């Protein structure tokens, strides 16, 4: 079946004329129509546009163009702007909004001849770790539909895991690509801040947000990262010479590699089954010649608090633009300010309003120094600690999520527990470091993800390490139990 | 550093600053959740931070300039396409200046 093939395998088949782009697109659209009622990965499916794009991509292949993404379907998180295709951020406040422009990543995908298959579900405005906070419906895990997909990019992770798309893009502010990748058993990669343009990504926390790819293996995730990366003058935080070069992805040997294990990320918060799975992987990699050592990164203990001050502070400013005047629905009040407040009060979901409230409070007079500025100092301390550690080691390794996929609603009564799920992923966002989640085994028949984090700008090296580890742990990836 | 719990009056004040119209039930819920979070935030109280440089972002970039060149933007129709209320090519908002 075409839907079971990876993006790299599909590209080979297309070049060999063993299938057409239209056949690939139709196979994925058929599978979405059968399975997505159960899983809720997509908020919108662009069947008509995808089939039109299939014709033009086929023509490019027939004329000898060689981009490996030409003709490959890609699903996009619904906070990435797509011209002519609704972009809702899974929020009522953007219901019906149709952007007039493409995000730079979408323009790049189109330049490569990739096919935009549809827009995927997320926690509203990417605020959440379970994909249950969508204003429309929760996304369900392909390993057990009664369990959460992880978030916030849960729809993009499920699209790839359930073989509804070979590739997808998400966004990662505190782990929103890596967490659902771990819970769904696929690869999710957050590059160094600035290597993929954020132009057209609806902003949540601008100093932390980064677009990242999902694939069923490292090769595919690297392929997509390479295609959408690179300098963009439309994003003033885009780094010069930032294209991610994956031409040398498969050349690294594990022997002699130095990997640090921060003891702060192997504490009591980690489920025993998750810890056992990671330790088995460590044992196997030690046999392959990897040199593991414990690293001391005490600022990690303050990562969650730091994140839950900085991210809401930035969000409270970024989300001020949603006023019901220039885009989105509108609720009437008694005057201008009341109009805006009524629109925001009625159309933002609870979690979004909570974070706006937290951020507004943390930035308000009298509390700025105690919360926001203090958090930014801890962020500075964390960067120093990590950069010092990276002088001695190639990367650090930890679980991606402290737990396997939890039951839908299980953590609703314990919002702090839900926020602690991001414990292992948050440091990479605070430091701007590249970080990747890789399937490394199973606990309770549910996937466990391993998180690898490397020094800033070391994206190519981190992908090489992940690829080498993937080869040494061939049991990491399995198809989920669905037809 | 002294981290305070948040009163209902402060919750109302923050909601007003954030331009969020909240009903009484929501205000009570947010007071509880904000206090729970502020309690959690106490773990950063008392950390020794002297000599540490704060980091508002992780980018190594400074002063990113764009060339002063004309670039075409959205046309009039595109700008207004997503507005919920327009008239004669203008956004319609309530009157804010009394006659």
Taking CB atoms and an 8 Å limit, are B47 and A302 in contact across chains? yes
The C-alpha atoms of residue A21 and residue A320 are separated, in whole angstroms, by 42
The H-or-E segment that residue A213 falls in is strand A210-215
| Residue B21 forms part of a structural domain | yes
Q: Is the confidence metric ipTM above 0.90 for this complex? A: yes
- Interface subset of B 29-58, CB within 8 angstroms of A: 29-30, 33-34, 36-37, 40-41, 43-44, 47, 49, 52-58
Q: For residue B84, is it within any domain?
A: no
Rounded Cα gap, residues B56 and A468, in angstroms:
35
Alpha carbon of B36: minimum distance to chain A alpha carbons (Å): 8
pLDDT at B2 over 60: no
pLDDT at B99: 62
B64 CB within 8 Å of a chain A CB: yes
8 Å CB contact of A305 and B40: yes
CATH number at residue B3: 1.10.20
Residue B2 lies in a domain: yes
Q: Does residue B56 fall inside a structural domain?
A: no
Q: How far apart are CA A226 and CA A465, in angstroms?
A: 16
Distance of alpha carbon A393 from alpha carbon A388, whole angstroms? 9
Question: In this predicted model, what pLDDT tens digit does every residue of A104-115 receive, in sequence order?
Answer: 999 999 999 999
Residue A74 in this model has a pLDDT that exceeds 50: yes
Helical segments of chain B, H only: 8-17, 24-41, 76-80
| pLDDT exceeds 70 at position A365 | yes
Q: What pLDDT does B98 receive?
A: 67
CB contact under 8 A, A361 and B2: no
Average pLDDT score over residue span A190-215 = 98
Instruction: Give tens-digit pLDDT for A147-164.
Output: 999 999 999 999 999 999
Q: What is the arithmetic mean of pLDDT over A77-86?
A: 97
Dihedral through CA B58, CA A265, CA A191, CA B73, nearest 10? -60
**Interface residue B14 vs chain A (CB under 8 A):** yes
- Whether B70 is covered by a domain: the verdict is no
Distances (CA, A) of A377 to A193, A364, A433, B16: 19, 18, 17, 29
User: Chain A contacts of B17, Cβ < 8 Å?
Assistant: 360, 364
- Domain assignment of residue B55, yes or no: no
> Using H for helix, E for strand and C for coil, what is the string for A76-90?
EECCECECCECCCCC
The count of domains in chain B is 1
Radius of gyration of chain A (CA): 21
pLDDT score of B66: 82
Closest Cα in chain A, distance from residue B61 (Å): 7
What strands lie across the sheet with A187-190, from one edge to the other?
Answer: A42-45, A115-120, A73-77, A167-172, A210-215, A187-190, A435-443, A446-453, A395-399, A258-262, A291-295
Taking contacts as CB-CB distances below 8 angstroms, the residues of chain B near A237 are 57, 59, 61, 64
Reported confidence tier of residue A11, pLDDT bands at 50, 70, 90: very high
B91 touches chain A (CB under 8 A): yes
Instruction: Name the residue facing A377 among B15, B40, B54 (closest C-beta).
Output: B54
Query: Between the CA atoms of A338, A342, A345 and A347, what dihedral angle is there, to the nearest 10 degrees?
Result: -150
DSSP classification of residue A44: E
Query: SS3 of A447, please?
Result: strand
B25 near A CB under 8 A: no
Q: What is the rounded CA–CA span in Å between residue A119 and residue A41?
A: 9
Mean pLDDT of chain A: 96
In a domain, B30, yes or no: yes
- A-B CB pairs within 8 A amount to 159
Name the active-site residue from A152, A171, A316, A401. Answer: A152
pLDDT digits (tens, 9 = 90+) for A203-234: 999 999 999 999 999 999 999 999 999 999 99
Average pLDDT over residues A168-193: 98
Domains parsed from chain A with CATH numbers: 2-256+393-472 (3.90.1300.10), 301-376 (no CATH)
Q: Is B66 on the interface with A (CB under 8 A)?
A: yes
Domain, as residue range, for B24:
1-47
Distance CA B21, CA B3 (A): 26
Average pLDDT over residues B45-72: 85
DSSP state of A112: T
Sorted by sequence, the CB contacts under 8 Å of residue B2 that are 6+ apart come out as A370
In a domain, B40, yes or no: yes
How would DSSP label each residue in A255-269? TT-EEEEEGGGSSTT
């Amino acid at each position: 079946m075409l839907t079971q093939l990876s993006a790299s395998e599909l590209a080979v088949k297309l070049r060999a004329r063993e299938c057409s782009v239209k056949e690939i697109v139709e196979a994925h659209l058929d599978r979405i129509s059968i399975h997505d009622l159960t899983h809720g990965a997509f908020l919108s499916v662009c069947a008509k546009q995808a089939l039109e794009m299939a014709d033009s991509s086929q023509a490019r292949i027939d004329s000898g163009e060689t981009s490996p993404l030409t003709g490959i379907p890609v699903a996009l998180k619904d906070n990435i702007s797509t011209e002519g295709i609704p972009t809702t951020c899974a929020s009522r406040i953007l219901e019906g909004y149709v952007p007039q422009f493409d995000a730079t990543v979408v323009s790049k995908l189109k330049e490569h001849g990739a096919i935009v298959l549809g827009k995927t579900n997320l926690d509203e405005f990417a605020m959440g770790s379970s994909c249950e906070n969508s204003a429309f419906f929760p996304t369900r895990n392909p390993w057990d539909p009664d369990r959460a997909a992880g978030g916030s990019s849960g729809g993009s992770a499920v699209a790839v895991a359930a073989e509804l798309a070979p590739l997808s893009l998400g966004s990662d502010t505190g782990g929103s690509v890596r967490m659902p990748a771990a819970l769904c058993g696929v690869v999710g990669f957050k590059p160094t801040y600035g290597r993929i343009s954020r132009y057209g990504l609806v902003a949540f926390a601008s100093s932390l947000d980064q677009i990242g790819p999902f694939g069923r293996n490292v090769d595919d995730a690297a392929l997509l990262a390479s295609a959408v990366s690179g300098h963009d003058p439309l994003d003033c935080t885009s780094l010069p010479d930032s294209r991610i070069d994956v031409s040398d992805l498969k050349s690294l040997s594990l022997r002699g590699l130095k990997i640090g294990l921060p003891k702060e990320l192997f504490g009591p918060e980690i489920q025993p089954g998750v810890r056992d799975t990671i330790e088995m992987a460590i044992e196997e990699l030690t046999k392959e010649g990897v040199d593991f050592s414990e690293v001391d990164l005490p600022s990690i203990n303050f990562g969650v608090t730091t994140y839950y001050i900085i991210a809401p502070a930035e969000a409270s400013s970024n989300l001020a633009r949603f006023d019901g005047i220039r885009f989105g629905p509108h609720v009437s009040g008694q005057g201008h300010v009341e109009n805006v407040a009524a629109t925001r009060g009625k159309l933002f979901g609870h979690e979004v309003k909570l974070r706006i409230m937290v951020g507004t409070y943390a930035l308000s007079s009298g509390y700025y120094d105690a919360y926001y500025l203090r958090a930014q100092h801890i962020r500075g301390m964390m960067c120093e600690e990590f950069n010092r550690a990276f002088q001695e080691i190639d990367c650090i390794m930890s679980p991606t999520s402290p737990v396997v996929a939890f039951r839908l609603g299980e953590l609703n009564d314990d919002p702090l527990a839900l926020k602690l799920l991001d414990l292992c992923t948050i440091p990479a966002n605070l430091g701007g470091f590249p970080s990747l989640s890789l399937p490394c085994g199973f606990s309770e028949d549910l996937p466990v993800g391993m998180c690898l984090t490397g020094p800033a700008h070391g994206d190519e090296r981190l992908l090489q390490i992940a690829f080498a580890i993937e080869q040494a742990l061939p049991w990491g990836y399995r198809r989920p139990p669905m037809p | 550093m002294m981290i305070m719990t948040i009163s209902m009056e402060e919750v109302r004040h923050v909601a007003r600053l954030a331009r969020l119209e909240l009903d009484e039930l929501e205000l009570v819920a947010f007071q509880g959740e904000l206090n729970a979070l502020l309690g959690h935030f106490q773990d950063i109280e008392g950390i020794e931070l002297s000599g540490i440089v704060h980091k508002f972002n992780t980018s190594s970039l400074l002063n990113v300039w764009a060339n002063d060149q004309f670039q075409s933007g959205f046309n009039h129709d595109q700008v207004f396409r997503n507005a919920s209320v327009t008239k004669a090519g203008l956004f319609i908002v309530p009157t804010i200046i009394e006659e």
